[in-house]
Structure 1
Amino acid sequence: MPQFPSGAAIPMSVVDVLRAAAGLQPKVRASFCWGRCVRGTYAPSDQAKEITRSRSFTMPSRVLARFSADGVSANAVDIDGCSLRGFSFRLGSGDQLSDIVTQSVPVHFARTLDQMLAFLQARMPGPDGKPDMARVEAFSAANPETLRQASYLAANPPPASLAYTTYWGVHAFPATNARGETRFIKFKVAPVGDERRPSEHAATAKSTGLLRDLDSRIAARDVRFSVMALLDRPGDPVMDVTIRWPDEDGREAVRLGTIVITGTEPNGACEASVFNPANLAEGIGHPPDEIFAARRDAYAISQTERR
């Protein structure tokens, strides 16, 4: 039986192994290494103040954002929906900025930093450039929760277009409103009017590739998202990002506002202004889970190494 790492992992070791497992160079992003930097606007809903007093969510602002995908090249079609997509965005202005990092699956692939490091090391390529599948299977059997992300993606492949994908923040964020009331929320970012889009949109995306499709839809002013807050219930798990809240798809959600993507930006604009999930304006607190604490450090490390 192969021996898997144990003990205290650190964010830097995870960043290094992420790059090594994917065969990436030191100054390349450790994950979601290609994407498109974009700009837009955010308009809050009348309900936003009931959830949070954070001015980044209750006031109109400009938006800097980045669409991305893991595991495929920039012009890939991804017709089988196997890639994990990402959508990171910054709301607010001045000292009231919030960076929100979301992805196309509502769970993470590891519960703790140690487990995340072991997951990646089990998949490190061998001398033949391929991972040892016996080692991967042994690790998965001992850590079944690490399969939930891939299982969800296999059962729910995203649309062919980045613009029509639904994105989740996998963490539970404590949100405090103007009355001082605090509850946990999860972010869900859903395309506006997705249910009304004809099937030929998907056909167009499949024929052009992810980024070219996105660029054409931005030019047509056809990229807008509702920023939703899923509301907690007593007993919801807030420390484990590998599991969803019970009946998460059917529970109450409040629309915080709408993001409209209006144009593209040079990729350097997103590189210079890293989306660090630790950047949250007062009224949205840091989630209590271990992965969030590691992620905020890993993002800073990854940017520093790329400079």
Structure 2
Amino acid sequence: MSRFPIAAATPASIVDALKAVAGNPPKVRASFAKGRCVRGTYVPSDRAAEITLSQSFIKPSRVVARFSVGGGNPEVADTDNLVLRGFSFRLGGDEHRSDILVQSAPVHFARTLDQMLAFLKARIPGPDGRPDLEKVRAFSVANPETRHQADYITAHPLPGSFAGTTYWGVHCFPATNSQGETRLIKFKLVPVGWDVPLTEGEARTKTADFLHDDLLKRINTGDVRFNVMALLDRPGDPAMDVTIRWPDEDRREAVRLGTIVITGVEPKEACDASIFDPANLAEGIGHPPDEIFAARRAAYIISLGKRR
């Protein structure tokens, strides 16, 4: 199978393909359709200003956030071990707001928009409601980098809690500090104190909504907090290919920018009335240079229009 689709991809065609893969459910997100809207607080560390002058990261603020399960099916089971877990959060006030999107794997499933569209088209269900597995295999053979995300997911146990999952940003953000120094960072959210993977036996006992039920219990006990980490770049790190990781990324030097504490649940509308806009970044955090990020904002706005 060719590495290049016949027609060039657009944000609109990506949204349509995401919806088609999920069976075109109405009035839901094209991706990460199932989720829970929450609120909390952000407290910066004393080292945040070393990395960025962004007011959204160096000042305390309220937080609006959303935990989610990957894919465009709002009925997906929390026990599905083939999809991502996501966390989107908004820091800062109206004049210095930043929206950050992270997920439970450190890479994206496609390098370019064209490759992303071809990946999705290969998985659109046929008349029997199932994708053509031969078509999927052929695409994977021709595009081996699109296996990196799936390989990471299958190599790790099913997360046992939204609150006990490590979340990664797949993009490289230019961060500028008050001295005018700019370097690339990747965001990583690390649960404070614990991580909760499940054994295969434990996973089989869980209900279809266990992550959402667990989240409510942990919020009520004040047990949902994350350190917001900035992984620091080195010379030669790849910045354009979101299907590959930085070398030694798990042991990479990192600076804690601050801590998010989730304190309550918000009505669904608090997150669904608008979007977590990945391009909305307060001065001091720049837009990543890769092609996938450049298309995200338009795709999210299109998806919001379809939801309405």
Per the normalisation by structure 1, the TM-score is: 0.93
Dislocated runs of 4+, deviation >4 Å: 1-4, 71-75, 197-200, 202-205
Cα distance, 1:159 vs structure 2:
2.2
Displacement of 1:6 after TM fit?
A: 2.9
- Please name the residue that 1:53 is paired with: 53
Return the letter of the residue paired with 2:289: P
Residues 178 and 153 (structure 1 numbering): CA distance in 2 closer, same or farther, change over 3 Å?
A: same
User: Cα offset for 1:163?
Assistant: 0.8
Runs of 5+ consecutive residues of structure 1 not aligned to the other structure: none
Secondary structure of residue in 1 paired with 2:286? coil
State the alpha-carbon separation in 2 of the partners of residues 288 and 151 from structure 1: 25
Aligned to 2:219: 218
Whether contact under 8 Å (1:57, 1:91) holds in the other structure is: yes
* Cα deviation, residue 27, structure 1: 2.3
Aligned to 1:258: 259
Partner of 1:247: 248
Is 1:146 equivalent to 2:136 in the alignment?
Answer: no
Question: In the aligned structure 2, how far is the partner of 1:302 from the partner of 1:13?
Answer: 11
Q: Does 1:99 align with 2:99?
A: yes
Over residues 217-241 of structure 1, what are the superposed CA-to-partner deviations in whole Å (9 max), with x where a residue is unaligned? 1111100000000000000000000
State the shift of 1:306 in Å. Answer: 1.4
2:307 corresponds to 1:303: no
**Cα 1:221–1:138 shift into 2, 3 Å:** same
CA 1:132–1:199: 2 relative to 1, 3 Å: closer
The aligned counterpart of 1:15 is 15
2:166 alignment counterpart: 166
Report how far residue 188 of structure 1 moved: 0.1
Q: Name which of structure 1's ranges 1-10 and 162-171 shifts more when overlaid on structure 2.
A: 1-10
Bigger CA drift: 208-217 or 35-44?
208-217
Equivalenced residues, count: 304
Q: Equivalents in 1 of 2:266, 2:94: separation in Å?
A: 20
Name the stretch that deviates more: 39-48 or 205-214: 205-214
One-letter identity of the residue aligned with 1:281: A
- Secondary structure in structure 2 of the residue aligned to 1:96: coil
Q: Which moved more, 1:20-29 or 1:182-191?
A: 20-29
Distance 2:248 2:122 in 1: 32
Query: Deviation digits for residues 70-125 of structure 1, max 9, x if unmatched?
Result: 257668351x6333100000000021000000000000000000000000001111
* Corresponding residue of 2:293: 292
3-state DSSP class of the match of 2:147? Answer: helix
2:98 corresponds to which letter in structure 1? Answer: S
Q: Is the 8 A contact 1:2 1:135 kept in 2?
A: no
Pairwise CA distance, 1:8: 1.6
Which residue of 2 is the match for residue 209 of structure 1? 210
DSSP 3-state at the match of 2:302: helix
Equivalence map 1:58-97=2 (5 Å): 58-71=58-71, 76-78=77-79, 81-97=81-97
* SS class of match (2:139): helix
Q: CA deviation at 1:206?
A: 3.7
* Residues 171-214 of structure 1: per-residue CA shift (max 9 Å, x gap): 0000000000000000000100016x7999x9699467110111
For the 8 Å contact 2:4–2:115, the answer to whether it is kept is: no
- SS of 1:194's equivalent in the other structure is coil
Work out the CA distance in 2 between the residues paired with 1:254 and 1:169: 15
| Amino acid aligned to 2:129 | G
RMSD of aligned alpha carbons: 2.2
Provide, for residues 109-156 of structure 1, a one-character-per-residue CA deviation record: whole Å limited to 9, x for no partner. Answer: 000000000000011111111111111111110000000000000112
Conserved? CA contact 2:40–2:260, under 8 Å:
yes
Corresponding residue SS for 1:94: coil
CA displacement, residues 43-76 of structure 1 (integer Å, 9 cap, x when unaligned):
0000000000000000000000000002576683
Task: Tell me the CA shift for residue 273 of structure 1.
Answer: 3.1
Q: Is the 8 Å Cα contact of residues 158 and 165 (structure 1) preserved in structure 2?
A: no
Once the 2 structures are TM-superposed, how far is the Cα of residue 7 of structure 1 from its aligned partner?
Answer: 3.5
Q: Could you tell me which amino acid in structure 2 is paired with residue 111 of structure 1?
A: R
1:131 aligned counterpart, secondary structure: coil
- The TM-score with structure 2 as length reference comes to 0.93
SS at match of 1:107: coil
Contact 2:158-2:197 within 8 A present in 1 as well: no
Q: Is the 8 A contact 2:4 2:114 kept in 1?
A: no
Mapped partners of 2:168, 2:31: distance in 1: 17
Tell me the amino acid that sits aligned with residue 60 of structure 1. Answer: P
Cα distance in 1 for partners of 2:74, 2:206 equals 14
Structure 2 letter corresponding to 1:139: F
Q: Report the Cα distance in structure 1 between the residues aligned to 2:285 and 2:62, rounded to whole angstroms.
A: 19
Q: Runs of 5+ in structure 2 lacking a partner?
A: none
Q: CA deviation at 1:5?
A: 2.3
Moved more, 153-162 or 210-219: 153-162
